[in-house]
Amino acid sequence: MRNSRILGLGHYVPPRVVTNNDLTALMDTTDEWIQQRTGIRERHFSDGWTGAADMGVDAAREALQRAGIAAQDIDCIIFATLSPDVDMPASACLLQDRMGISGMPAFDVRNQCSGFLYGLAVADKFIKAGTYDHVLVVGSEVHSTGLDLTTRGREVAVIFGDGAGAVLLGPEPDARRGILSTHLHADGKFAEKLWLESPASRARPRLTEEMISGDDPRVFPKMEGRYVFRHAVTRFPEVIREALDANGLAPSDLALLIPHQANLRISQMVAMGLELPEEKVFNNIQRYGNTTAGSIPIALYEAVAAGRVHDGDLVCLAAFGAGFTWASALMRW
């Protein structure tokens, strides 16, 4: 059975930079408070009529160009987002429309912070099974239109940023290279520890004026931060070790770990737990905040561009977030 590998990477972040100091004009917070707890200095917010697919198109075009693959040769499109352009259909269909291509299956993956890795795992299996040759995986989020940018919402609002990343996955005949394995998990017992409730099909009716603009609006994400932190620092190392164990490898074999950029303090604790030196862990949350499904492909893109990934390197991608869901992918570059 063949493997899959990344043929090309692309990314897009909207041009407008919002610093922590910029946020102090909207809510009672400080640059020091945000940096101390999250490591974030600034993030990017989109403007105008820009949705997840609009940003995803730019990331996808760059990935195709770097892979040397034409858009019409994509066999399948997997779009990971929790901030879709419209309620339905999937943002993957809007991406198809914007790129002027049609016919190949296009669907969304809705697995929050682990969305990109869930999408990558599905893409990997499509290629391994020989079903498709070229699968485009996009992770893109426009968080800025779904945040409570007031003092009431500050605990969550300061964390998130907008951004998109994309990879074009293709076949790798050498079983020792490319994506070696993927590992996907979830534990829905904690679904309401980090969530966005409304619209909610389980409510009667699904959406009301009260949910949108009442004293306790339900249309913004909510998080029990300490709870999420505690689970993240357990599940991240666990799923990274699971990937290494599955391939008979150890943390010391890793050339680079790219954790989902949820919080710099989480990444630092994970690195410490695995005894990985700072130069073997890539972080860029300082400049982008948490871009959920966008974070791993953006970080991988920057790591490659910065010369941090070399031919033959063992690279681990890992994520943890809402659901809770968590995942890892181990690849030989």
Partner 1 sequence: MGSTILGLGHHLPAEVERAGVRRPIAVEAVGPSTLAVRAATGALAQAQVGAEAVDFIVFATMTPDVTFPGSGCFFQAQMGCDTVGALDIRAQCAGFLFGLVIADQFIRTGTHARVLVLGAEVHSSGLDYSDAGKHIAQLYGDGAGAALLGTGNGTAGVRGAAIHSDGRQHQRFWCEYPSSRQHPLRMTIDNFRRGRHFPSIDLDAVRSFGEQSLPAVIGEALAAAHTSAERVDRYIIGHVLPEVAERVGARLGAAASRVNIPAARHGHLTAAALPVALSEEVAQGRLGAGATVCLAAAGAGFAWGAAVVTL
| Residues classed as catalytic | 113, 260, 290
Q: Which of 109, 157, 158, 240 binds partner 1 (CB under 8 A)?
A: 109
Rounded to an integer, what distance in angstroms lies between the CA atom of residue 293 and that of residue 56?
A: 11
Site for partner 1 in 27-86 (CB under 8 A): 46-52, 54, 77, 82-86
Site for partner 1 in 164-203 (CB under 8 A): 181-182, 184-189, 191, 194-203
Q: Nearer to partner 1 by C-beta: 38 or 83?
A: 83
Q: Which pair of tokens denotes residue 297? A: 């492909």
Q: Which of 206, 252, 272, 312 binds partner 1 (CB under 8 A)?
A: 206
Which residue, among 39, 315, 321, has the nearest Cα to 182 in the 3D structure? 315
Q: Should residue 330 be labelled a site residue for partner 1 when binding is judged by CB under 8 A?
A: no
Site for partner 1 in 289-308 (CB under 8 A): none
Q: Nearer to partner 1 by C-beta: 153 or 273?
A: 153
Write the binding mask 211 to 250 for partner 1: x where contact by CB under 8 A, - elsewhere: -xx-----x-x-----------------------------
Name the minimum Å distance from CB 77 to partner 1: 7
Name the minimum Å distance from CB 326 to partner 1: 9
* Coil/strand/helix, residue 261: coil
Q: Nearer to partner 1 by C-beta: 271 or 296?
A: 296
Cβ–Cβ < 8 Å for 102, 96: yes
Query: How many angstroms from the chain centroid is the CA of residue 72?
Result: 25
Name the one range near partner 1 by CB under 8 A: 66-74, 124-132, 253-261, 279-287.
124-132
Q: Residues near 11 by Cβ (< 8 Å), separated by ≥ 6? A: 59, 62, 163, 164, 165, 166, 294, 297, 298, 301, 302
Cβ–Cβ < 8 Å for 218, 275: no
Q: Which of 12, 44, 59, 118 binds partner 1 (CB under 8 A)?
A: 118
Name the minimum Å distance from CB 279 to partner 1: 31
Q: Which of 93, 120, 285, 296 binds partner 1 (CB under 8 A)?
A: 93
Query: How many angstroms from the chain centroid is the CA of residue 215?
Result: 31
Cβ–Cβ < 8 Å for 59, 49: no
Q: Nearer to partner 1 by C-beta: 86 or 306?
A: 86
Which residue, among 72, 90, 323, has the nearest Cα to 190 in the 3D structure? 323
Q: Should residue 131 be labelled a site residue for partner 1 when binding is judged by CB under 8 A?
A: yes
Query: CB count, 10 Å around CB of 32?
Result: 9
Helix (H) or strand (E) holding 315: strand 314-321
Q: Which pair of tokens denotes residue 57? A: 């198109």
